[in-house]
Structure 1
C-alpha cells in the first residue's frame, strides 16, 4: 500500500474507503480489467473490521458475528484463504442461573430433519416439542426463496415474534436474544424481512469467527489487489463523477467514483444522501489465566440482569486469539448500556459474566473496550435491502447501509456497485480475466 506521500494519479475508478464494501468493489472491477485506486483515510484497510494486537491477544473492534452460510465469503475474489472457526452447534442461553443449549441446527440439511428427530433429542416432552416447532419454523425459512421472503409484509421484528408459531418460552428464551445479538438491536425495531434473512442464514449455516481476527478479511482482500492500489492516509474532501478532491494530493481524476465509506462519512461527501440511525455497540475483551468455560459456544445472556448481550471464550473458538496458557473472553454490549463510562460498564459486565460463567471475574484483566456509536446502521421497517448503489452515471455508493447491516450485506453491496459501474462503462464482468487467460 502507498503512504499519503505518494503522488496522485488517474485511474478508471476511484473507490473512496477501503471498507469491506470498497475492497469488494475493487476486486470485482479489477477482475474485469478496470484500473482502480482505493483511497483510505485511516492507517490500514478495513474500517470497523479491524483487529488490534495487544500483549499477544487479537482483539476485534467489531461485535458482528459471521455465518458460514454468507455467500459473499465464498464468492468474493481474494477470500479463498479465509478460514472460519465455527461456534459449537446451537447456542447457550443463560437463564435461571444456568446455561442451557438450544437452537442446535447444523445448516440447511439439519434444519430439514423431522419433528420426531427434534423431539427425541430432548428427554423432556415439552422441550422436545419446543425444539420440534423451532426446527420446523427454521426449516421453512431455510427453504424459502429470498425473493418470496422479501415480498412479505415488512414490520418491526418485535411485533412479529408472536406470529411465528412458537411458544412464548421459545420466543423469549431463544428467538428474541438471538435476533437482538445478530441484529445488534436489543429493542428489535429492525425490519422483519432483515430478521428473516438472518434467521435463514442461521438455519442454513453455523455462526463463526474468522481465524486470526476480523481484520483478516480486509487484509486478505487488500493483499490480492495489484500493488499500490490501496492508498492509506488519504482524506477525500469532495467527490464528483470524474474526480475526487483530497486533502493531501488535490484532485485525482477518473471515469467513475465509488463512495464506500461508513454511512455518516458518505452522507458528508454526497449531499442529500439519507443518513440512517445507528445501533451503538461496545466490545469488551478480558484476559484470564484459564478459560472460564472450555466450550466454543456463543452464550446469549440477554440484558435483563446486566449490560452484556452475548459473550464467548473467543480463544476456545479461535485459539489464535490468545497466547498459550491464557484465555480471551469477548463480550458484546448493545443499546444504551454501550455508552456507559468504561469503568462503570466493566464493573457491571464482570458481575454479570461471573454469573454466566459460574466463576469469579474479579481477577480478569480488561484488555480493551471498543465503543462505536455508529457501529451498525439501523434497518427499521420498512427497509429496502437493495437500496440503489447507482446515484447517477459516474457516482456510486456502497456499504452495509445500502443492503443489510452485516458482513454479507457490505460485501454484496460492493459487488452490486461494481456491476453498476461496469454496465455504465460498457465492460462485461470478468472481461479482464478472459483477456489475461487469452
Structure 2
C-alpha cells in the first residue's frame, strides 16, 4: 500500500479513512471502481488510533475489540491481530463491596457469586439469565424488529430490580454507551448484549489501531492519500484544503458527524458523547488479572490493568492502567481519578506516573429510541454519507455503514 495520487480521475472519492471509509473503499475497489480515499490526518483509523509514548502503547481512549461482530468476521483476520482476551465479565465495585458480573449462561458457577448477600437476588439472577439467553440464541432479526424503548425500560421489563440496574447494569453500560441514565436505544442494547455473550472482548497486541491498519493494507496502491484534508464537497467532486480540486462523479463522506455536517450542509447528525481516558504507569500491577472494573458511584466509568492482558503495552516491569470518565478533562480531574483508583484497587496511587490523558470528543453518537439501526447513505445524487452515526455506535455499525455506502454507490452507477 502506498499513498501516491491516482493518475486517473477516480469514479468515487471517499473522505475519511476510519472504519466506515475503509470498508467502503475496499468494497468499491473490489468491484472495479477507481477510488481515492482521502484522510486528513497522518494515519488511518479515525477514532481507532494507537500512539507510542516512551515505550507505552496508548490507544486514543480505552477500546476493546469484540470478535462476535458479523462485519469483523467478514473483514478482519483475527490471527493477524494477535488478540489477547480480557477475563469474561466485569468486577463491579458497589456499596456492598466488589462483585463479579459474568454471563450466567456461560459461567453459572461464577454467576452464583451474585446471589443474595452480594449484589443480586435470586429473582434478579434468573431475570438476567433469561435476558441473556433471549438475546444470545435466537436470530438477530428478532432483536432488530422489536419495539424500541430506553435501555432502562428494557431492563425493568426484563424483570431486573432497581438495585440490580443501579448497582450493576448502569455502571457497566455507562461505559458502553458513554451515558449514565440508560436512555440509549434498547434495540442497540440487545444487539450489544448479544455480541458480548457470543464473542470475546480482546486487546490487539499492537493496540486498537492495528484493526484499521490491517484493513488499509488491503487497499490497492495509490488509493489512500494521507494528510489530505477536504475543505468542501463541490458539484464536481471535492475541494482540498490546499486549494486543489479532485473531480469525481461520486463522493462518500465517511467522517465524524461534525465534519460530515460541515461538508454536507443540512445533514441531520446526532449529538455525540465525550469521554476522557487517563493512562497511568505503576511499578507493580494493582490487580493480577485482565479484568474490566466498573464503579457503581460512576466516579470513573471503568478501569483496567492493560498489561495483564498485553504485557507489551508497557516497558518491562511496568503496569499500564487505563481509566475512563464521562466528559472532558477538567482541572483536578486526574487527581480525583487517582484518589478513586486508590480505593478501587486498595493501593497507594500517589507514585503512579501519568502517561497520557486522551479526551475523545464525539467518541460515540447518542442513540435514543427510536433509533434506526441502519439508514440509507444516499443524501443527494452522487453524494453519500456513512459512519457509525448512520448506523450504530460500534465497530459493527461503522463497518456496516461503509458496506452499505459501497453497495448503494455501485447500484447507482449501474443506473447511470
**2:149 matched residue in structure 1:** 155
**2:94 matched residue in structure 1:** 95
Q: 2:313 aligns with which of 301, 308, 321?
A: 321
- SS across alignment from 1:141: helix
Q: 1:201 aligns with which of 195, 209, 214?
A: 195
Residue 319 of structure 1: how far off its partner (Å): 2.0
**1:355 matched residue in structure 2:** 343
Q: 2:393 aligns with which of 397, 405, 414?
A: 405
Q: Pick closer, same or farther for the CA change 1:253–1:340 going to 2, 3 Å.
A: closer
Q: Pick closer, same or farther for the CA change 1:125–1:277 going to 2, 3 Å.
A: closer
* Distance in 2, Cα, partners of 1:123 & 1:310: 19
* Distance in 1, Cα, partners of 2:3 & 2:25: 18
Q: Pick closer, same or farther for the CA change 1:325–1:180 going to 2, 3 Å.
A: same
Residue 201 of structure 1: how far off its partner (Å): 1.3
1:120-131 paired onto structure 2 within 5 Å: 121-122=112-113, 129=122, 130-131=124-125
**2:369 matched residue in structure 1:** 381
* Distance in 2, Cα, partners of 1:120 & 1:147: 28
Q: Is the 8 A contact 1:243 1:251 kept in 2?
A: yes
Q: Is the 8 A contact 1:28 1:77 kept in 2?
A: no
Q: Is the 8 A contact 1:103 1:134 kept in 2?
A: no
Q: Is 1:75 equivalent to 2:64 in the alignment?
A: no
Residue 143 of structure 1: how far off its partner (Å): 2.2
Residue 242 of structure 1: how far off its partner (Å): 4.7
* Distance in 2, Cα, partners of 1:253 & 1:387: 27
* Distance in 1, Cα, partners of 2:85 & 2:351: 28
Q: With structure 2 as the length reference, what TM-score do the two structures score?
A: 0.92
1:328-343 paired onto structure 2 within 5 Å: 328-334=320-326, 338-341=327-330, 343=331
Residue 248 of structure 1: how far off its partner (Å): 2.4
- SS across alignment from 1:213: coil
**2:12 matched residue in structure 1:** 13
Q: 1:220 aligns with which of 210, 214, 217?
A: 214
Structure 1 window deviating more from structure 2 (122-131 vs 231-240): it is 122-131
- SS across alignment from 1:376: strand
* Distance in 2, Cα, partners of 1:393 & 1:409: 24
- SS across alignment from 2:301: strand
Q: Is the 8 A contact 1:58 1:321 kept in 2?
A: yes
List gaps (5 residues or longer) in structure 2: none
Cα RMSD after superposing both structures:
2.4
Structure 1 window deviating more from structure 2 (265-274 vs 187-196): it is 187-196
Structure 1 window deviating more from structure 2 (188-197 vs 76-85): it is 76-85
* Distance in 1, Cα, partners of 2:78 & 2:401: 16
Residue 245 of structure 1: how far off its partner (Å): 1.5
Residue 286 of structure 1: how far off its partner (Å): 0.5
* Distance in 2, Cα, partners of 1:409 & 1:80: 22
Q: Is the 8 A contact 2:257 2:389 kept in 1?
A: yes
Q: Which 4+ residue blocks in structure 1 deviate beyond 4 angstroms? A: 1-4, 6-9, 77-80, 117-128
* Distance in 1, Cα, partners of 2:95 & 2:296: 12
Q: Pick closer, same or farther for the CA change 1:77–1:360 going to 2, 3 Å.
A: closer
Residue 392 of structure 1: how far off its partner (Å): 3.1
- SS across alignment from 1:28: helix
Q: Pick closer, same or farther for the CA change 1:123–1:220 going to 2, 3 Å.
A: closer
Q: Is the 8 A contact 2:329 2:359 kept in 1?
A: no
Residue 85 of structure 1: how far off its partner (Å): 2.1
Residue 352 of structure 1: how far off its partner (Å): 0.7
**2:296 matched residue in structure 1:** 302
Residue 229 of structure 1: how far off its partner (Å): 1.5
* Distance in 1, Cα, partners of 2:140 & 2:301: 28
Residue 359 of structure 1: how far off its partner (Å): 0.4
Residue 170 of structure 1: how far off its partner (Å): 2.5
* Distance in 1, Cα, partners of 2:28 & 2:114: 55
Residue 208 of structure 1: how far off its partner (Å): 2.3
Q: Is the 8 A contact 1:18 1:45 kept in 2?
A: yes
1:234-253 paired onto structure 2 within 5 Å: 234-240=228-234, 242-248=236-242, 250-253=244-247
Q: Deviations over 1:210-238 (max 9, x none)?
A: 22111111111112211222111111122
Q: 1:254 aligns with which of 243, 248, 251?
A: 248
List gaps (5 residues or longer) in structure 1: 428-438
* Distance in 1, Cα, partners of 2:242 & 2:363: 28
Q: Pick closer, same or farther for the CA change 1:66–1:184 going to 2, 3 Å.
A: farther
